[in-house]
Structure 1
Amino acid sequence: MTLSEKAYLAIRRDIIQGKLAAGQPLRMADLSERYAMGFSPLREALSRLQVERLVVAEALRGFKVAPLSVQEMQDAIDTRILVESDALRLSIQHGDDDWSAAIVAALYALNLQVERSIVNVWDIEARHYAFHRALLAACQSPWRLEFFERLYATTERYRIPILIAAGTPSPSRRDIQAEHSAIADAVLAHDAETAVRLLAEHYTRTAMTISARMATVAA
C-alpha cells in the first residue's frame, strides 16, 4: 500500500467517523502531524476525497471537510436506492451458491455482533457494511460496486455520528436486524421484486431517522 493510499484511507475513515468534523479546515501542517506523513501523499489523498465529495476545495484556502445537510443526505440515499436496486437485481440474477452462503455468513456475523453485551458501534458498522456489500457482490458490475462504496461512505457520515450522539447503535422503534433478515430472505429466495422493495424501505426509514435527529440537534 502506498503512502497516498494509507493517507486516503486514514482521512476517509476519520471523516466518516466524525473525528474530522463537517466544515473543519484540513491544513497540511495539521494533517502531517496527525498522520505522520509528508505533504505529497496527503495532497493526493485530499484530491481523491474531493472526487468522492467528502472534501471540498476553496480557492486560496485549501481543503476542508465537506459540510452536512439534510438535502445532501436525502439525495445520497435516494441515489443509493437507485444504484443498489439495480445491482441487487443483477446479483439475484447471477448469484451462485457461494454468493448465497456469503450473505448468510455476513448476516450471521452482524447479528452476533449486535447481540453482544458490550456494544461497539464500529465493530457493528464493519459487519453492517459487509452485509450490504455481500448482497451486491454478484452483480458483475465494478462501476455499480464503486458507486455503492462512494454512496455508502457519504451516508455513513450522517448515520454513525448521529447514532453515537444519541447514545444507541440503532434507532428506536425499529428492529433493524429483522429488516436485514427480511431482505436476505427475499434475496435468497430469488424474489427480486420483494428484495428491492424491502431494501428501499430500509433506506427510506434510515433517511427519516437521520432527518429527525438532525432537526433535534439543530434545535
Structure 2
Amino acid sequence: MPASERTVERPNGEAGTLSERAASLLEQDILAGRLAPGSRLGIVDLVQRYEIGATPLREGLSRLMSRGLIVGIGQRGFRVAEVSREDLADITCMRTAVEKEAIRLAIIHGNDAWEAGIVSALHQMRRHIERTGNEFREGAADFDRLHKGFHTALLAACGSGRMLGAHSELYDQAYRYRRVMMRGIDSGAEFIRSHQMLADRVLARDVEGAQKMLEAHLHSTINFVYPPASESNR
C-alpha cells in the first residue's frame, strides 16, 4: 500500500515531521506483522515502500531503536527486533513494576472522574465486542484503541506522566506477543469478564487485590505464548 494511502494516527492530530511519519509507518507494519521479526530493513527498499526520503527514514528507524522495536546490525543497517521468551519476560517484568505502583497511586488519588473514565472505557470495549461477536482481535484499529484505552484509564490518576509514558511504550512493545495470545481467545464474554473483574478491584479501592490481579493479568500473555515446559509437554 503506498504511503500516501495510509492513515497515520497521532495524538494531537497534526501531520508531524517526515521522520515522525516514517517512524509511525514502520511501527504500524512491525506491530501488524507486515515486517516480520528479524527481517532486514534496507533503506532503499524502505524509501520505495513508504515514498519517504532516506534521511527521515534513518531518523525514524533511530526513534524505533530507542523503543526496542528495531535493532542496529553494526554498519550493515537495521532489522526488526526478534521475538523471544526472554524479551517478553523483560517487558512483562517492567510493566509489572511500573503498573503496580501506578495502580497504587491511582487508587489513592483517583476521584469520581477517574472512576467514570474506567467505567466508560470498559463499556466501550464491551459494546465493541458485542457488535463484532467473537471476531474481535488485536490488529483491528478500533479494538486496539479501546483495549489500550481501558488499561490506560486504570492508571490515569497516578499523577506521573513518566509512569503513563512507560506504560504506553511497554504496552506497545508487548503488542506482537499479545496478538498471538488473542488468536487463542474464542469468547468475547470471557475476555470482558476478566477486565470487569480487574476494574471492580480497582474501583473497590482494594490496592493489594488490584495489584495482585493486575500482575496476573499482565503475566497471562507470557503464560499463553510461552507456556511452562510441564504444560507444553502434556
Q: TM-score when scaled to structure 2?
A: 0.83
Q: CA deviation at 1:163?
A: 4.4
8 Å contact 1:163–1:171 — kept in the other structure? no
1:123-142 residue pairs with structure 2 within 5 A?
123-142=142-161
Residue 170 of structure 2: aligned partner: 151
Query: What is the SS of the residue equivalent to 2:71?
Result: strand
Query: What is the SS of the residue equivalent to 2:83?
Result: coil
RCO (CA 8 Å, sep 6+): is it higher in 1 or 2? Answer: 1
Query: What is the SS of the residue equivalent to 1:60?
Result: helix
Residue 107 of structure 1: aligned partner: 122
Bigger shift: residues 104-113 or 33-42: 33-42
Runs of 4+ in 1 over 3 A off after TM superposition: none
Cα deviation, 1:94-127, whole Å, max 9, x if unaligned, reads 2122111111111111111122246242132221
- 1:73 aligned onto 2:73: no
Q: Aligned partner of 2:111: which letter? A: D
Q: Aligned partner of 2:27: which letter? A: R
Query: What is the SS of the residue equivalent to 1:19?
Result: coil
Q: CA deviation at 1:49?
A: 0.7
Cα deviation, 1:160-201, whole Å, max 9, x if unaligned, reads 1x247x4x5x267x9232111011111112111111111111
Residue 190 of structure 1: aligned partner: 205
Residue 9 of structure 2: aligned partner: none
8 Å contact 1:171–1:209 — kept in the other structure? no
Q: CA deviation at 1:20?
A: 0.9
Query: What is the SS of the residue equivalent to 1:137?
Result: helix
Residue 29 of structure 2: aligned partner: 14
Query: What is the SS of the residue equivalent to 2:158?
Result: coil
**Runs of 5+ consecutive residues of structure 2 not aligned to the other structure:** 1-15, 229-234
8 Å contact 2:177–2:221 — kept in the other structure? no
Matched residues, number: 209
Q: 2: distance between equivalents of 1:97 and 1:13?
A: 35
Cα deviation, 1:33-74, whole Å, max 9, x if unaligned, reads 222211122111111111111100011210100011011111
Residue 50 of structure 2: aligned partner: 35
Residue 217 of structure 1: aligned partner: none
Query: What is the SS of the residue equivalent to 2:72?
Result: strand
**Runs of 5+ consecutive residues of structure 1 not aligned to the other structure:** 214-219
Identity, % of aligned pairs?
39
Q: 2: distance between equivalents of 1:2 and 1:138?
A: 31
Q: 2: distance between equivalents of 1:33 and 1:93?
A: 51
Query: What is the SS of the residue equivalent to 1:138?
Result: helix
8 Å contact 2:43–2:54 — kept in the other structure? yes
Computed over aligned residues only, the root mean square deviation of the Cα atoms, in angstroms, reads 2.1
Residue 216 of structure 1: aligned partner: none
- 1:64 aligned onto 2:75: no
Q: 2: distance between equivalents of 1:153 and 1:179?
A: 20
Query: What is the SS of the residue equivalent to 2:37?
Result: coil
